[in-house]
Chains A and B, each alone.
Chain A
C-alpha cells in the first residue's frame, strides 16, 4: 500500500485544559484506529492551567491530519499541531543505575561521562545513577556501554519536542479567551496553506 511507504514519525503537540479524563479521551482517538502511541509526554505548559501533550506516532501524514482534527474537536483541547522530526528539536532523558563498586573499578568514569554527554545524578556507596539526554540512539548507546558492567536499572522518558517554526502559544491563548476570536486560532495552521491541503 502507498500509505505504508509514506509512514514516518510525527510529533503531535496538543494544548489542553487540565481536565481529568482528557488523556483517555485523546488516547482512544489513536487506539480506535489501532495506532500505537510510540511516546507520550504530558506536562503543564508555560501557561498556567494549560497542559501540553507531546505524542509521537508512526503514520502517514493523511492519517495524522485526520487524527489531529479529531483531537482538536474534543471540548477541552485548545490547539493541535503536528510536525515531522525535521520540524522539531527533540530530546529524551534517560537514567542508568549501576553498581558503584563495579563502575569505579572497571571503567574510566570520567571518560564515559564525557564521551556520552552524561552526568552523575547520584553517587552512593552501593550504586550510582547517571543521566543522559538526547536522541534515542544516544541513550541506547550508553545502555550498550553500561550493560557489560551490570546495568541494574534503566529508564527513559517520553520525548519532548520544541517546534522550530512557532511563535509560541501565549498570544493565541488571549484570543481563545475572547468570545469572538481571530481566524487563526479557530482552525489548524495547515488550513492556511489551502492549496497544499485541499487538492484532489
Chain B
C-alpha cells in the first residue's frame, strides 16, 4: 500500500518517524476520527494501554465492567452516531467475551472495529497463558478479521478495518495484535485511509434497467406496499426514502431495526411488521399486489411461514447486499445498490399517487387492532400496570425525541410497538440476535454517541441481570442514562410461549430479582420503584428531570401477553389478536 502523506504524529514530515505498533494504532484511530473507545485492559493488550496513557486528551477511553458490555456499548455508540464503534479487549477471555457482541453486530450490520491483544507471536499455538484462537473463533461472526504479528502492518490493516466496517453493508471487524507487534518500533511513514480493496465490492452497480422495471411495476400496482428496514438508516437515506414514500403515496411498514427512519406519526407509516407487529401490515402483506422491500432481509420473525408469505405479490427488493436478494423471498425485480442512490432514481420514475382506499384499509385494521389489543394495553383497568401504559406515559414526556434502547423480550416488543420516534437513529435494539443484556451497555454507548439527546433504556427484569455490572461504568463516567426496568417477575416472553404452546408448563421462567433500586444506590445512581399507577407519571417525570442517571423500576402485570402475535409456523395472515 502507498504510504501516507500526512500524520498527526509526524506533522508535515515525509520521512518516517519511529513509533511503536501501539502508537501507530492510536495515531490511526485519531486520523479515522475516533473520539471514544470502549475497553478493558489485560496482559496481552498492555502496550496499547500504555500508549493510550499519552493519548488521553484525544481519545476518550471508557472503562467498562465486562468486555461484552464494552462491545454492546460500541454498538450503541455506532447506532446513534452513525460512526464506527471502537472496542479494546485483551486476549483469551477478554476476546471471547466479545463474541456475543460480534454476532449481534454481524447480524444487525453494525460497524465496529474491535482490537484484541494477543500473546507474543512466538507463543501462538502453544496454549500460552490467555491464548485463544480469536481469529478462528470470530470468523463466523465478523465481516472481516485479521491477525497482526508485525507492527509494520498496522497502518494498512487498520485502514482496511475501518473501510470494511463502514462501507457497503456495515459490520464488525476484529483485529488481533500480538504483544510483540504492539511493542515493536518501526519506521512509521504516516497513515492513509483506505478507499479500495480490489477483491471487495461494497456497492453493487446500480442497473438502470432494474430501476425502470421496478418503477413500471410500482406504477401499475393497485395495492402496493412498502416494507423497510435498517438499510434506510444505515445508508443515511431517510430523506430519499421519505420523498419516495410521499410521492408514491404507498403505505409503509417497518422492521424493528428500521423503526424511526420516518416518524411514527407520518400518515403513510402504517406500523410494525413481524411476529408482534401490527395487524394491518401483517395481514395485508398477503393482499398487496406489489411488495417493495427496502433495506431489509426478510427475517423469519418478519415473514412468518415463508411458503405462505406474499405469494400473490410481485416483489421489488432494494438491497446493497447481493447475498440478500432471493435468499428468503424471490424477487421479481432486484434493485441492487445503495438505497441512497437507488431511491431517488426510483422516485423520479414513479407516478405521484394517493392510494386512498388502500391506505384506508390499513387504517381499518389499525382500528380493529386498537379495539382488540391496543386500547386495553394502553388504558388498562386492572390494578396492575401494563408495559404499554408505561411507554404511553413516557411518550408524553419525551414527545418522541428520545433515543429508546431496548433489551430483548416482551418489553422490547411493547416498547417498539408503542414508543413514538420522531427522529432517525432513535431506536437501538438487538434485533437479529436477540441478545438479552444488550440494553444497559448499549444505552451507555448510545449516550456517548448522541450526548445531546435523552437516552432511555427499557429493560426487563431478566435481561437487566445479565449485564447490570455496567452500572459501574455509569457510576465512573457520570454518563446520563435513564433506565426503566419493566418488572413482571418472569422471563416474560418465554413464559408467554409456555402459556400459549406448552400448556402453561412454566419451566424455569420464574425469576427472582434483587432490590434493583438498592443495587443502583450502591453504584451511586438514584432510583425508585413504583407499583401503583397513580405514581407512574410523576415517577417518569422525576426520572427525566433528574440530573444524571436514574433507575426506575416499574412493577407490571405478571402474566400479560404481547399481542398481536404471528405464532411460529403460521403465515402473517394468521396473526392472532388474542
Cβ contact within 8 Å between A177 and B198: yes
Which residues of chain B are near A28, meaning CB under 8 Å? 139-140
Q: Which of B199-207, B343-351, B427-435, B541-549 contacts A (4 or more CB under 8 A)?
A: B199-207
Q: Kindly state the separation between the CA atoms of A136 and B331 in the bound complex, as whole angstroms.
A: 39
**What are 17 A-B residue pairs whose CB atoms fall within 8 Å in the complex?**
A20-B147, A21-B135, A21-B146, A24-B139, A25-B139, A32-B140, A66-B323, A66-B326, A73-B321, A73-B322, A75-B199, A176-B199, A177-B198, A179-B195, A186-B204, A187-B322, A194-B209
Which residues of chain A are near B139, meaning CB under 8 Å? 21, 24-25, 28
**9 pairs of A and B residues whose beta carbons are closest in the complex:** A69-B323, A78-B199, A176-B198, A75-B144, A75-B200, A73-B323, A70-B323, A186-B205, A76-B199
Which residues of chain B are near A73, meaning CB under 8 Å? 321-323
Q: Which residue of B lies closest to A20 (CB)?
A: B147
Q: Kindly state the separation between the CA atoms of A181 and B197 in the bound complex, as whole angstroms.
A: 12
Q: Which residue of A lies closest to B332 (CB)?
A: A200
Q: Kindly state the separation between the CA atoms of A150 and B20 in the bound complex, as whole angstroms.
A: 62
Which residues of chain B are near A65, meaning CB under 8 Å? 326
Instruction: Tell me whether B296 is interfacial, beta carbon within 8 Å.
Output: no
Q: Which residue of A lies closest to B324 (CB)?
A: A69
Which residues of chain B are near A77, meaning CB under 8 Å? 199
Cβ contact within 8 Å between B336 and A187: yes
A186 to chain B, nearest CB (A): 5
Q: Which residue of B lies closest to A31 (CB)?
A: B140
Question: In which size bucket is the chain A interface?
Answer: 20 to 34
Cβ contact within 8 Å between B205 and A75: no
B195 to chain A, nearest CB (A): 8
Cβ contact within 8 Å between A198 and B321: no
Instruction: Tell me whether B483 is interfacial, beta carbon within 8 Å.
Output: no
Instruction: Tell me whether A131 is interfacial, beta carbon within 8 Å.
Output: no
Instruction: Tell me whether B122 is interfacial, beta carbon within 8 Å.
Output: no
Chain B 316-348 near chain A by CB (<8 Å), digits 1 or 0? 000001110111001111101000000000000
Cβ contact within 8 Å between A187 and B314: no
Which residues of chain A are near B403, meaning CB under 8 Å? none
Instruction: Tell me whether A3 is interfacial, beta carbon within 8 Å.
Output: no
Q: Which residue of B lies closest to A15 (CB)?
A: B199
Instruction: Tell me whether B19 is interfacial, beta carbon within 8 Å.
Output: no
Cβ contact within 8 Å between A186 and B201: yes
Q: Kindly state the separation between the CA atoms of A73 and B142 in the bound complex, as whole angstroms.
A: 12
Interface residues of A in 82-126 (CB under 8 A from B): none
Q: Given the interface contacts A78-B198, A177-B198, does A24 sit within 8 Å of B136 by beta carbon?
A: yes
Question: In which size bucket is the chain B interface?
Answer: 35 or more
Q: Kindly state the separation between the CA atoms of A38 and B197 in the bound complex, as whole angstroms.
A: 31
Q: Kindly state the separation between the CA atoms of A10 and B55 in the bound complex, as whole angstroms.
A: 54
Q: Which residue of B lies closest to A73 (CB)?
A: B323
Which residues of chain A are near B140, meaning CB under 8 Å? 28, 32
Instruction: Tell me whether B269 is interfacial, beta carbon within 8 Å.
Output: no
Instruction: Tell me whether B145 is interfacial, beta carbon within 8 Å.
Output: yes
Q: Which residue of B lies closest to A177 (CB)?
A: B198
Picked from A176, A183, A197, the residue with its CB within 8 Å of the CB of B205 is: A183
Which residues of chain B are near A179, meaning CB under 8 Å? 195-196
Interface residues of B in 127-151 (CB under 8 A from A): 135-136, 139-140, 143-147
Q: Which residue of A lies closest to B323 (CB)?
A: A69
Instruction: Tell me whether B259 is interfacial, beta carbon within 8 Å.
Output: no
Which residues of chain B are near A186, meaning CB under 8 Å? 201, 204-205
Q: Kindly state the separation between the CA atoms of A194 and B335 in the bound complex, as whole angstroms.
A: 12
Instruction: Tell me whether B158 is interfacial, beta carbon within 8 Å.
Output: no
Cβ contact within 8 Å between A198 and B333: yes
Cβ contact within 8 Å between B145 and A21: yes
Which residues of chain A are near B89, meaning CB under 8 Å? none
Q: Kindly state the separation between the CA atoms of A25 and B106 in the bound complex, as whole angstroms.
A: 14
Q: Kindly state the separation between the CA atoms of A186 and B203 in the bound complex, as whole angstroms.
A: 9
Cβ contact within 8 Å between B334 and A198: yes
Which residues of chain B are near A20, meaning CB under 8 Å? 147
Which residues of chain A are near B327, meaning CB under 8 Å? 66, 69
Instruction: Tell me whether B436 is interfacial, beta carbon within 8 Å.
Output: no
Instruction: Tell me whether B455 is interfacial, beta carbon within 8 Å.
Output: no
Which residues of chain A are near B205, meaning CB under 8 Å? 183, 186-187
Which residues of chain B are near A181, meaning CB under 8 Å? 201
Which residues of chain B are near A183, meaning CB under 8 Å? 205, 207
Cβ contact within 8 Å between A16 and B136: no
Q: Given the interface contacts A21-B136, A24-B136, A200-B314, does A75 sit within 8 Å of B330 by beta carbon?
A: no
Instruction: Tell me whether B164 is interfacial, beta carbon within 8 Å.
Output: yes
Which residues of chain B are near A76, meaning CB under 8 Å? 199-200
Cβ contact within 8 Å between A198 and B332: yes
Cβ contact within 8 Å between A75 and B136: no
Q: Kindly state the separation between the CA atoms of A33 and B139 in the bound complex, as whole angstroms.
A: 16
Which residues of chain A are near B207, meaning CB under 8 Å? 183
Instruction: Tell me whether A9 is interfacial, beta carbon within 8 Å.
Output: no
Q: Kindly state the separation between the CA atoms of A70 and B209 in the bound complex, as whole angstroms.
A: 24
